[in-house]
Structure 1
Amino acid sequence: MNSMFDQHLPRNEANFAPITPLSFIQRAAEVYPARLAMVHGPLRRTWAEAYERCRRLASALTRHGIGRGDTVAVMLPNTPTMVEAHFGVPMAGAVLNSLNTRLDAQTLAFMLDHGEARVLIVDPEFTGVVGKALALRQRKDPILVVDAEDEVWTGRQDRIGSTTYEALLAGGDSTFDWQLPGDEWDAIALNYTSGTTGNPKGVVYHHRGAAINAVSNILEWDMPKHPVYLWALPMFHCNGWCFPWTVAARAGVNVCLRKVEAQAMADAIREHGVTHYCGAPIVHSLLVNAPEELKRGLPRGVKAMVAGAAPPASMIEGMERLGFDLTHVYGLTEVYGPATACAKHEDWDRLEIDERARLNARQGVRYHLQRDAQVLDPQTMKPVPWDGETMGEIMFRGNITMKGYLKNEKATQEAFAGGWFRTGDLAVQHPDGYIKIKDRSKDIIISGGENISSIEVEDVLYRHPDVLAAAVVAKPDPKWGETPCAFIELKAGAQVTPEEIVAHCKKYLAGFKVPRAVEFGELPKTSTGKLQKFELRKRAGSTTAIEV
């Protein structure tokens, strides 16, 4: 029954518009047309120029028959082309699928097929693996392959496309009248998980969630107008945690980096006056552990965001010596990247470093515009006591949550069972409401910010003819946060070296998934024959496993 406040008060174009991050770049170009938007080597582009190129891209895609619901895949590092794709692709009504540049050809082929990509924009650095992936596709429908140019790239310039990116843009209209999405629930991006069991799952984002998380980033960081943002976080990872849209909303500067190295980061921070950057623990450690002469002259007050593993005391201390302000966030692909933050309090500054590290290591509280984040009992769906001891599962609900998994109704229903998104991460909630992860129910290893499935690595180990049983767990690593550690029980009489095991794994796995430590021996099992991974985790923490 309608109330009096609904009668004769219809929703119309004058009082309602779909929320979308595409409006952010339009405003930046209108209000700050001459302000710097892109920095990449010698390249400089203003917001007016960036917006014009995004409109050209949208127009060109439309002229090639790309429209609402079509998938445009990109295999790109952190270049201006990647930033433009985050606007130009959805301006055409299409869905952006940013492919992980670290993946193998077989996995990429699956993603191209599953996402039904109609266009693929590829950087020259990745033409080799992409060429193999295209050959492995099962679908026979054609893909328009576009070669992206980049003068900063000094390697081979092999081309596999039928056109180049600049030629594609030249065929587009810089005044293209792109339209708002018909519904803010329309898909804007497709991101694949690391595939904990079987094939990766395709996570679908909507315009509303992308815009809302982009604004939440601003609120969480108190981000002022015109920040200078360093792209140390891969934009293929949860769409760069929505920061391509965040930077546009603040009319900031995108400082692009093809490769994340300590020297390149330090030089960029000094030269361009970087104010903000995000990254996995390894990215921050690059600066913390760099030679003193490399760090000389770094500006103080740079805001850094870390996720992937809790920052240890040594990292917090190292960042403080640099004068950097570190914020710890937590999230998953399914919640657009960061969806909780360990919000700091002034009285924490008076505590000893170890106590501050303990407080900052928690996953924290919900992002500003996320409706809720709690630790619930997965059976009863009731909140666990806030005692810092009772375990439950981290669950989210609100606008910063995926639409669901592409073509996987069963997995979607399971993920949303009970009216919450179930992360699978086991945690406690402290008396102040801050969440702290205790374990990962799916045995995920987070290495350098990348998720690695222990099951996937174990499957490869079992392919070795001399392996009787195998188990893979996370081994603490000062550089990567965690790395895979393999415990292997060999068949009777078998003689295998750790180096041979690693060489075997390299045939089937991306480099970051290959075990960094191998130990042979009988695996601990329960009376029913189930492997006791908790025992192996203890051993991995102080293991004598041979580092390879």
Structure 2
Amino acid sequence: MSIYDDLPLDRVCHAPLTPLRFLDRAEQYFADRTSVVSGEIALTWRETAARCRRLASALARRGVGPGDTVSVLAPNGLAIYEAHFGVPMTGAVLNAVNTRLEPETVAYILAHCEAKVLLVDTEFSELARQALATLAHPPLVVDIADPGGPGGARIGSIEYEDLLAEGDPAFRSAQPSSELQPITLGYTSGTTGKPKGVVYDHRNAFVESLGNMLALGVSGRPRLVWVVPIFHANGWCYLWPMAGVGATNILVRKPSGGAILGLIARHGATHVFGAPVIAQMIAQVPAAERPVLSHKVRMLTAGAPPTAAQFLALEQMGIDLDQGYGLSEVWGPAIFREPQEEWAAMAPAERAALKVRQGIPNLVLDSAIVADPLTLEPVPRDGATLGEVMFRGNVVMRGYLKNPEATREAFAGGYFHSGDLAVWHPDGAIELKDRSKDIIISGGENISSIEIENAICAHPHVLSAAVVGVPSARWGESPFAFVEIRDGVALDAAELEAHCRARLASFKVPCGFAFGPIPKTATGKVQKFLLRQQARENAA
């Protein structure tokens, strides 16, 4: 015993951490500010808070409570935004489902998480109908008839706005009895096997929320354009804390480069969230069609490594492109490449080369290392030695739902194993080189597909590139490149090969090129497993 041990915890000085408090703060101090803009609809924080309580009340009246799961199958809009507060207000767990999944996977997710309610946007009613048809115990289905959407069949027993009308705007939120109570469930977008359910608790969400705001340097009165699908890592865990500072959230249902720039100009947006493919969309907008931005804009991208060309293109438009790196199991971005003062004096190309490095850990992350995956010994900070990125701390998921074996494997040795290979620079910045399964081994040499992709994207006619390994009788494996080119220009394999030879060692130059659309997930990740199949077919 010590002289400090007789001070018991009291509710005056201790309460479970939860991001639900951020909505309370928004309502108390920013009630008349615009909270959410979705299409032609604009709400205040007073209205948003009342709608979230109505949702919670209506769900509670239908028997939803702690331990239950409420799933949402919807693009960015009022329903998925409000569900992030309304569902956990009941004590239940929110499961946001990727709208680009096939019916079999959606069915698996709904059955695996034992969804009690499914909110589904009518645009995706057919997807939901096919998934629900296979379930032995289907959930209550609520239609979301978003006036900004294309419409679609109604397959539920009630419409979302009618559900809200049943609820009490004075509903008392069921604050978590413990900060370790689950708040959300997401599913990995793995390319093999069944997706794994990633469970987060209220503490995870609160801690990551604060770290993210610090990493992005949020201050003043932010106005942000949400292009990243909110279903991806719950809006990269920015949705909750942005409420706490009274931000204005402009929700983009279906993005285009011109539309995004128009929203930035119209609303005076300070921030944009979107995958690298969104940065590419913005950069493609012809100069004559771009609005003049009278203020600096900061764009956060994650989900796939951006190229130096994307950094340069947006910088010329007055948009500072920053990147975060992480995985579904660490709330999306957990490592940030924060701008450094000394970069301002550098040439643009030199600055972009530094920006492509993924960066340093979020302030609230206990540890992020690059280490030998077997010994867990950190690699030298020499910018050359490959190791696996590993995480430990309060922002790491609680574990995989109903899958203790996968959780133990992911947490082996006391770190979460990302499966991403990287080098560690002397300044502490982590730079991704590849997924462990995507590294190309040619003639005994490890080749980073990202390095080759960056070299290809330096060509002015290239929009994006993806490189995979293909079997080689001589070298074991050789790199093969898939390339998307800009509209209205011509580019052939010979010219692109010469371009690569001027920038890469000879063994890194792709053995072949294929031109056309590159398949990506809803969050901008290239589906390399599909490209490997295509590359093998081309080689055959």
TM-score tier (shorter): 0.7 to 0.9
Tell me what 2:434 maps to. 439
Find the partner of 1:24 among 11, 22, 25.
22
Q: Deviations over 1:145-187 (max 9, x none)?
A: 000121112x233100011111111111111111221111111
1:298–1:546: structure 2 CA closer, same or farther, 3 Å change rule?
closer
1:543 paired with 2:512, answer: yes
Tell me what 1:470 maps to. none
Tell me what 1:245 maps to. 240
Tell me what 2:146 maps to. 150
Tell me what 1:323 maps to. 318
Q: Deviations over 1:264-322 (max 9, x none)?
A: 21221111111111111110111112011221223330110122333323222211111
Q: Deviations over 1:352-376 (max 9, x none)?
A: 2222122111111000111111111
Contact 2:36 2:43 (8 Å CA) reproduced = yes
Distance (whole Å) between structure 2 residues aligned to residue 30 and residue 543 of structure 1: 60
Contact 1:266 1:295 (8 Å CA) reproduced = yes
Distance (whole Å) between structure 2 residues aligned to residue 535 and residue 73 of structure 1: 41
Tell me what 1:290 maps to. 285
Deviation at 1:542, TM superposition (A): 5.6
Tell me what 1:524 maps to. 472
- Give the letter for the 1:337 counterpart: G
Q: Deviations over 1:364-408 (max 9, x none)?
A: 100011111111122221211111122211011111110011111
- Give the letter for the 2:408 counterpart: Q
Deviation at 1:546, TM superposition (A): 5.9
1:343 paired with 2:343, answer: no
Contact 1:78 1:234 (8 Å CA) reproduced = yes
Tell me what 1:62 maps to. 60
Contact 2:467 2:480 (8 Å CA) reproduced = no
Tell me what 2:253 maps to. 258
Question: Where do residues 318-397 of structure 1 align in structure 2 (5 Å cutoff)?
Answer: 318-397=313-392
Q: Secondary structure at the match of 1:55?
A: helix
Distance (whole Å) between structure 1 residues aligned to residue 467 and residue 305 of structure 2: 17
Q: Secondary structure at the match of 2:409?
A: helix
Contact 1:225 1:252 (8 Å CA) reproduced = no
Tell me what 1:449 maps to. none
Question: Where do residues 229-244 of structure 1 align in structure 2 (5 Å cutoff)?
Answer: 229-244=224-239
Find the partner of 1:166 among 139, 161, 164.
161
Find the partner of 1:37 among 35, 38, 41.
35
Tell me what 2:10 maps to. 12
1:532–1:440: structure 2 CA closer, same or farther, 3 Å change rule?
farther
Distance (whole Å) between structure 1 residues aligned to residue 12 and residue 128 of structure 2: 46
- Give the letter for the 1:125 counterpart: E
1:141 paired with 2:89, answer: no
- Give the letter for the 2:34 counterpart: L
Q: Deviations over 1:413-433 (max 9, x none)?
A: 011111111101111111111
- Give the letter for the 1:142 counterpart: P
Deviation at 1:536, TM superposition (A): 4.9
Q: Deviations over 1:84-121 (max 9, x none)?
A: 01000011111111110111111111111111111000
Contact 1:127 1:159 (8 Å CA) reproduced = yes
1:535–1:142: structure 2 CA closer, same or farther, 3 Å change rule?
closer
Contact 2:421 2:434 (8 Å CA) reproduced = yes
Contact 1:311 1:360 (8 Å CA) reproduced = no
Distance (whole Å) between structure 1 residues aligned to residue 513 and residue 480 of structure 2: 12
1:193–1:481: structure 2 CA closer, same or farther, 3 Å change rule?
farther
Distance (whole Å) between structure 2 residues aligned to residue 345 and residue 59 of structure 1: 47
Number of residue equivalences: 477
1:533–1:236: structure 2 CA closer, same or farther, 3 Å change rule?
farther
Find the partner of 1:224 among 199, 219, 224.
219
Distance (whole Å) between structure 2 residues aligned to residue 482 and residue 406 of structure 1: 35
- Give the letter for the 2:289 counterpart: L
Distance (whole Å) between structure 1 residues aligned to residue 274 and residue 359 of structure 2: 18
Q: Secondary structure at the match of 2:414?
A: coil
Distance (whole Å) between structure 1 residues aligned to residue 144 and residue 467 of structure 2: 34
Contact 1:53 1:174 (8 Å CA) reproduced = yes
Deviation at 1:42, TM superposition (A): 2.0
1:317–1:265: structure 2 CA closer, same or farther, 3 Å change rule?
same
Contact 2:384 2:424 (8 Å CA) reproduced = yes
1:354–1:342: structure 2 CA closer, same or farther, 3 Å change rule?
same
1:185 paired with 2:184, answer: no
Distance (whole Å) between structure 1 residues aligned to residue 60 and residue 288 of structure 2: 51
Tell me what 1:3 maps to. 2
Tell me what 2:76 maps to. 78
Contact 1:311 1:357 (8 Å CA) reproduced = no
Unaligned runs of 5+ residues in structure 1 are: 446-472, 488-522
Distance (whole Å) between structure 2 residues aligned to residue 442 and residue 54 of structure 1: 42
Q: Secondary structure at the match of 2:133?
A: helix
Contact 2:469 2:479 (8 Å CA) reproduced = no
1:218–1:173: structure 2 CA closer, same or farther, 3 Å change rule?
same
Q: Deviations over 1:219-261 (max 9, x none)?
A: 1121114311101110011111012112102110110111011
1:96 paired with 2:91, answer: no
- Give the letter for the 1:114 counterpart: H
Q: Secondary structure at the match of 1:303?
A: strand
1:318–1:395: structure 2 CA closer, same or farther, 3 Å change rule?
same
Tell me what 1:468 maps to. none
Contact 2:117 2:142 (8 Å CA) reproduced = yes
Question: Where do residues 400-415 of structure 1 align in structure 2 (5 Å cutoff)?
Answer: 400-415=395-410
Percent identity over the alignment is: 45
Find the partner of 1:112 among 89, 94, 110.
110
The normalised TM-score by structure 2 is 0.84
Question: Where do residues 414-493 of structure 1 align in structure 2 (5 Å cutoff)?
Answer: 414-443=409-438, 476=453, 481-483=464-466
Distance (whole Å) between structure 2 residues aligned to residue 28 and residue 444 of structure 1: 46
Tell me what 2:488 maps to. none
Deviation at 1:534, TM superposition (A): 5.3
Contact 1:68 1:93 (8 Å CA) reproduced = yes
Tell me what 1:132 maps to. 130
Distance (whole Å) between structure 2 residues aligned to residue 27 and residue 122 of structure 1: 29
Distance (whole Å) between structure 2 residues aligned to residue 244 and residue 546 of structure 1: 37
Contact 1:225 1:251 (8 Å CA) reproduced = no
Contact 1:90 1:96 (8 Å CA) reproduced = yes
Tell me what 1:516 maps to. none
Q: Deviations over 1:189-242 (max 9, x none)?
A: 111111242011111111111122221221112111431110111001111101
Q: Secondary structure at the match of 2:413?
A: coil
Contact 2:469 2:477 (8 Å CA) reproduced = no
- Give the letter for the 1:391 counterpart: L
Distance (whole Å) between structure 1 residues aligned to residue 48 and residue 243 of structure 2: 10
The normalised TM-score by structure 1 is 0.83
